[in-house]
Amino acid sequence: MRRILLVEDEKMIRYGIYVMIENSGVPYSEITECRNGRDAVECLKKNRYDLVLTDIKMPIMSGLELATWIYGNMEEEERPLIAAISGYAEFEYVKGMMKIQAMDYLLKPVDREELGKILWHAEEILRAKGVESPENVNPGRKTEVTGVSRHKMQKAVDYIRKNYGKPIDMAEVSNYVSMNYSMFSATFKDYTGENFSSYLRKLRIEKSKKLLQNTDMSINEISQRVGFEDARRFAKVFKEETGLTPTAGRDKMMTEKK
Protein backbone atom coordinates (compact mmCIF):
# COMPACT_ATOMS: atom_id res chain seq x y z
CA MET A 1 0.00 0.00 0.00
CA ARG A 2 1.23 3.49 -0.72
CA ARG A 3 -0.64 6.52 0.68
CA ILE A 4 -3.81 5.90 2.68
CA LEU A 5 -6.54 8.41 3.56
CA LEU A 6 -8.45 7.26 6.66
CA VAL A 7 -11.79 9.04 7.10
CA GLU A 8 -13.69 8.35 10.34
CA ASP A 9 -15.44 10.78 12.68
CA GLU A 10 -15.03 8.73 15.88
CA LYS A 11 -11.53 9.30 17.24
CA MET A 12 -11.03 5.98 19.02
CA ILE A 13 -12.32 3.94 16.07
CA ARG A 14 -10.05 5.92 13.76
CA TYR A 15 -7.08 5.30 16.05
CA GLY A 16 -7.90 1.58 16.25
CA ILE A 17 -8.01 1.25 12.46
CA TYR A 18 -4.76 3.23 12.19
CA VAL A 19 -3.02 0.76 14.50
CA MET A 20 -4.47 -2.22 12.58
CA ILE A 21 -3.07 -0.82 9.32
CA GLU A 22 0.34 -0.36 10.93
CA ASN A 23 0.37 -3.95 12.14
CA SER A 24 -1.02 -5.48 8.95
CA GLY A 25 2.38 -5.91 7.29
CA VAL A 26 1.15 -4.15 4.15
CA PRO A 27 3.76 -1.63 2.91
CA TYR A 28 2.66 2.00 3.00
CA SER A 29 4.37 5.36 3.08
CA GLU A 30 1.78 7.52 4.84
CA ILE A 31 -1.58 7.41 6.61
CA THR A 32 -3.54 10.68 6.71
CA GLU A 33 -6.47 10.96 9.10
CA CYS A 34 -9.66 12.99 8.51
CA ARG A 35 -12.78 13.43 10.65
CA ASN A 36 -15.29 13.84 7.81
CA GLY A 37 -15.71 13.80 4.06
CA ARG A 38 -15.23 17.54 3.67
CA ASP A 39 -11.78 17.40 5.29
CA ALA A 40 -10.96 14.42 3.07
CA VAL A 41 -11.90 16.38 -0.06
CA GLU A 42 -9.44 19.10 0.95
CA CYS A 43 -6.71 16.48 1.36
CA LEU A 44 -7.53 14.96 -2.04
CA LYS A 45 -7.28 18.37 -3.68
CA LYS A 46 -3.76 18.82 -2.34
CA ASN A 47 -2.29 15.29 -2.44
CA ARG A 48 -2.62 12.03 -4.30
CA TYR A 49 -3.73 8.93 -2.39
CA ASP A 50 -3.87 5.28 -3.37
CA LEU A 51 -6.63 4.14 -1.01
CA VAL A 52 -9.45 5.90 0.83
CA LEU A 53 -10.85 4.00 3.81
CA THR A 54 -14.01 5.88 4.74
CA ASP A 55 -16.82 5.54 7.22
CA ILE A 56 -20.18 5.91 5.48
CA LYS A 57 -22.21 7.77 8.09
CA MET A 58 -20.43 10.97 9.19
CA PRO A 59 -21.46 14.54 9.98
CA ILE A 60 -20.87 17.40 7.52
CA MET A 61 -20.13 15.10 4.56
CA SER A 62 -20.81 11.36 4.47
CA GLY A 63 -18.64 8.64 2.97
CA LEU A 64 -21.15 8.18 0.17
CA GLU A 65 -20.98 11.89 -0.65
CA LEU A 66 -17.18 11.71 -0.52
CA ALA A 67 -17.12 8.77 -2.95
CA THR A 68 -19.53 10.59 -5.26
CA TRP A 69 -17.25 13.64 -5.19
CA ILE A 70 -14.21 11.51 -6.03
CA TYR A 71 -15.86 9.94 -9.08
CA GLY A 72 -17.32 13.24 -10.22
CA ASN A 73 -14.26 15.46 -9.79
CA MET A 74 -11.11 13.39 -10.21
CA GLU A 75 -9.63 12.02 -13.41
CA GLU A 76 -9.69 8.23 -13.65
CA GLU A 77 -5.92 7.84 -13.37
CA GLU A 78 -5.86 9.99 -10.22
CA ARG A 79 -8.76 8.35 -8.39
CA PRO A 80 -7.85 6.36 -5.28
CA LEU A 81 -9.35 2.99 -4.53
CA ILE A 82 -12.22 3.27 -2.05
CA ALA A 83 -13.23 0.90 0.75
CA ALA A 84 -16.32 1.66 2.86
CA ILE A 85 -16.72 1.18 6.61
CA SER A 86 -20.24 0.83 7.97
CA GLY A 87 -22.51 -0.58 10.64
CA TYR A 88 -25.23 -3.07 9.76
CA ALA A 89 -27.81 -0.29 9.86
CA GLU A 90 -26.14 1.52 6.97
CA PHE A 91 -25.90 -1.47 4.64
CA GLU A 92 -28.16 0.23 2.08
CA TYR A 93 -25.51 2.95 1.88
CA VAL A 94 -22.91 0.27 1.21
CA LYS A 95 -24.89 -0.77 -1.86
CA GLY A 96 -24.74 2.84 -3.02
CA MET A 97 -20.97 2.87 -2.53
CA MET A 98 -20.56 -0.33 -4.51
CA LYS A 99 -22.55 1.18 -7.38
CA ILE A 100 -19.92 3.88 -7.72
CA GLN A 101 -17.15 1.30 -7.80
CA ALA A 102 -16.00 1.12 -4.19
CA MET A 103 -13.69 -1.89 -4.17
CA ASP A 104 -14.90 -3.41 -0.88
CA TYR A 105 -16.45 -2.72 2.50
CA LEU A 106 -15.93 -3.46 6.20
CA LEU A 107 -18.58 -3.84 8.87
CA LYS A 108 -18.14 -2.36 12.34
CA PRO A 109 -16.64 -3.35 14.66
CA VAL A 110 -13.74 -3.58 12.24
CA ASP A 111 -12.05 -6.98 12.28
CA ARG A 112 -8.26 -6.96 11.96
CA GLU A 113 -8.13 -9.93 9.60
CA GLU A 114 -10.87 -8.56 7.36
CA LEU A 115 -9.11 -5.20 7.17
CA GLY A 116 -5.86 -6.98 6.32
CA LYS A 117 -7.56 -8.82 3.45
CA ILE A 118 -8.85 -5.54 2.02
CA LEU A 119 -5.44 -3.87 2.33
CA TRP A 120 -3.70 -6.75 0.54
CA HIS A 121 -6.44 -6.82 -2.10
CA ALA A 122 -5.83 -3.11 -2.71
CA GLU A 123 -2.09 -3.77 -2.89
CA GLU A 124 -2.64 -6.43 -5.56
CA ILE A 125 -4.85 -4.08 -7.60
CA LEU A 126 -2.27 -1.30 -7.43
CA ARG A 127 0.58 -3.61 -8.42
CA ALA A 128 -1.50 -4.89 -11.35
CA LYS A 129 -1.94 -1.26 -12.45
CA GLY A 130 1.81 -0.78 -12.28
CA VAL A 131 1.68 1.70 -9.40
CA GLU A 132 5.04 1.87 -7.64
CA SER A 133 5.19 0.53 -4.08
CA PRO A 134 7.12 2.35 -1.31
CA GLU A 135 9.86 -0.28 -1.32
CA ASN A 136 10.49 0.49 -5.00
CA VAL A 137 10.69 4.26 -4.61
CA ASN A 138 13.52 6.13 -2.90
CA PRO A 139 14.47 9.29 -4.85
CA GLY A 140 17.42 10.02 -2.56
CA ARG A 141 19.07 6.66 -3.06
CA LYS A 142 22.65 7.07 -4.23
CA THR A 143 23.46 3.48 -5.08
CA GLU A 144 21.41 0.67 -6.50
CA VAL A 145 19.69 -1.80 -4.18
CA THR A 146 19.22 -5.15 -5.87
CA GLY A 147 15.85 -6.86 -6.06
CA VAL A 148 16.85 -9.45 -3.46
CA SER A 149 18.23 -6.78 -1.10
CA ARG A 150 15.13 -4.63 -1.60
CA HIS A 151 12.94 -7.54 -0.57
CA LYS A 152 15.08 -8.12 2.51
CA MET A 153 15.04 -4.45 3.43
CA GLN A 154 11.25 -4.27 3.22
CA LYS A 155 11.11 -7.43 5.33
CA ALA A 156 13.42 -5.72 7.84
CA VAL A 157 11.32 -2.55 7.90
CA ASP A 158 8.15 -4.59 8.44
CA TYR A 159 9.85 -6.47 11.28
CA ILE A 160 10.96 -3.23 12.94
CA ARG A 161 7.49 -1.70 12.64
CA LYS A 162 5.97 -4.76 14.30
CA ASN A 163 8.57 -5.06 17.08
CA TYR A 164 9.65 -1.47 17.86
CA GLY A 165 8.07 -1.83 21.31
CA LYS A 166 10.60 -4.52 22.21
CA PRO A 167 14.36 -4.12 22.93
CA ILE A 168 15.48 -4.94 19.37
CA ASP A 169 18.83 -4.09 17.79
CA MET A 170 20.47 -4.23 14.37
CA ALA A 171 22.11 -7.59 15.04
CA GLU A 172 18.70 -9.16 15.65
CA VAL A 173 17.15 -7.66 12.51
CA SER A 174 20.10 -8.43 10.23
CA ASN A 175 19.97 -12.02 11.46
CA TYR A 176 16.20 -12.11 10.85
CA VAL A 177 16.70 -11.25 7.16
CA SER A 178 19.85 -13.43 6.86
CA MET A 179 22.30 -10.66 6.00
CA ASN A 180 25.85 -9.94 7.11
CA TYR A 181 25.81 -7.24 9.83
CA SER A 182 28.00 -4.77 7.91
CA MET A 183 26.19 -5.37 4.62
CA PHE A 184 22.84 -4.94 6.34
CA SER A 185 23.93 -1.65 7.91
CA ALA A 186 25.01 -0.15 4.56
CA THR A 187 22.03 -1.49 2.62
CA PHE A 188 19.50 -0.39 5.25
CA LYS A 189 20.82 3.18 5.18
CA ASP A 190 20.80 3.18 1.38
CA TYR A 191 17.21 1.86 1.34
CA THR A 192 15.67 4.08 4.03
CA GLY A 193 17.94 7.10 3.92
CA GLU A 194 18.76 6.67 7.63
CA ASN A 195 20.95 4.43 9.74
CA PHE A 196 19.26 1.74 11.82
CA SER A 197 19.37 3.47 15.20
CA SER A 198 18.05 6.75 13.79
CA TYR A 199 15.21 4.98 11.97
CA LEU A 200 14.18 3.05 15.10
CA ARG A 201 14.46 6.13 17.30
CA LYS A 202 12.25 8.26 15.02
CA LEU A 203 9.73 5.46 14.64
CA ARG A 204 9.41 5.12 18.41
CA ILE A 205 8.89 8.87 18.81
CA GLU A 206 6.30 8.84 16.01
CA LYS A 207 4.39 6.06 17.79
CA SER A 208 4.69 7.82 21.15
CA LYS A 209 3.09 10.95 19.68
CA LYS A 210 0.06 8.91 18.65
CA LEU A 211 -0.28 7.50 22.15
CA LEU A 212 0.17 10.92 23.77
CA GLN A 213 -2.51 12.39 21.54
CA ASN A 214 -5.06 9.59 21.52
CA THR A 215 -4.79 7.87 24.92
CA ASP A 216 -4.69 8.70 28.62
CA MET A 217 -1.65 6.48 29.19
CA SER A 218 1.01 7.85 31.53
CA ILE A 219 4.41 8.95 30.25
CA ASN A 220 5.97 5.90 31.89
CA GLU A 221 3.45 3.54 30.25
CA ILE A 222 4.04 5.11 26.85
CA SER A 223 7.81 4.91 27.19
CA GLN A 224 7.53 1.17 27.85
CA ARG A 225 4.99 0.65 25.07
CA VAL A 226 7.26 2.16 22.41
CA GLY A 227 10.42 0.37 23.53
CA PHE A 228 12.39 2.73 25.77
CA GLU A 229 14.12 1.27 28.82
CA ASP A 230 12.73 3.95 31.12
CA ALA A 231 10.73 7.19 31.14
CA ARG A 232 13.83 9.34 31.68
CA ARG A 233 15.49 8.05 28.51
CA PHE A 234 12.21 8.45 26.61
CA ALA A 235 11.82 12.07 27.76
CA LYS A 236 15.42 12.86 26.74
CA VAL A 237 15.02 11.42 23.23
CA PHE A 238 11.55 12.95 22.79
CA LYS A 239 12.92 16.41 23.59
CA GLU A 240 15.90 15.93 21.28
CA GLU A 241 13.54 15.01 18.42
CA THR A 242 10.74 17.52 19.06
CA GLY A 243 12.16 20.26 21.26
CA LEU A 244 9.48 19.53 23.88
CA THR A 245 9.03 17.27 26.86
CA PRO A 246 6.45 14.48 26.39
CA THR A 247 4.01 16.32 28.70
CA ALA A 248 4.42 19.60 26.81
CA GLY A 249 4.11 17.70 23.53
CA ARG A 250 0.85 16.13 24.66
CA ASP A 251 -0.54 19.51 25.74
CA LYS A 252 0.45 21.10 22.42
CA MET A 253 -1.13 18.30 20.34
CA MET A 254 -4.34 18.35 22.36
CA THR A 255 -4.60 22.12 21.97
CA GLU A 256 -4.10 21.87 18.20
CA LYS A 257 -6.85 19.23 17.93
CA LYS A 258 -9.47 21.52 19.46
109-131 per-position pLDDT tens digit: 899 889 988 998 898 888 888 87
Last residue of a domain, one of 152, 178, 193: 193
Whether 66 and 50 share a structural domain? yes
Whether 106 and 8 share a structural domain? yes
58-70 per-position pLDDT tens digit: 999 999 899 999 9
Helices 246-257/231-242 angle, 10° precision:
60
- Indicate which CATH number applies to the domain containing 57: 3.40.50.2300
The whole domain housing 61 covers: 3-134
Q: How far apart are the first and last CA of the chain?
A: 31
Model-level pTM greater than 0.75? no
Question: What are the angstrom distances between the C-alpha of 133 and each of 14, 125, 126, 130, 150?
Answer: 24, 12, 8, 9, 11
Whether 204 and 253 share a structural domain? yes
Number of domains the chain contains: 3
Whether 51 and 125 share a structural domain? yes
Whether 176 and 117 share a structural domain? no
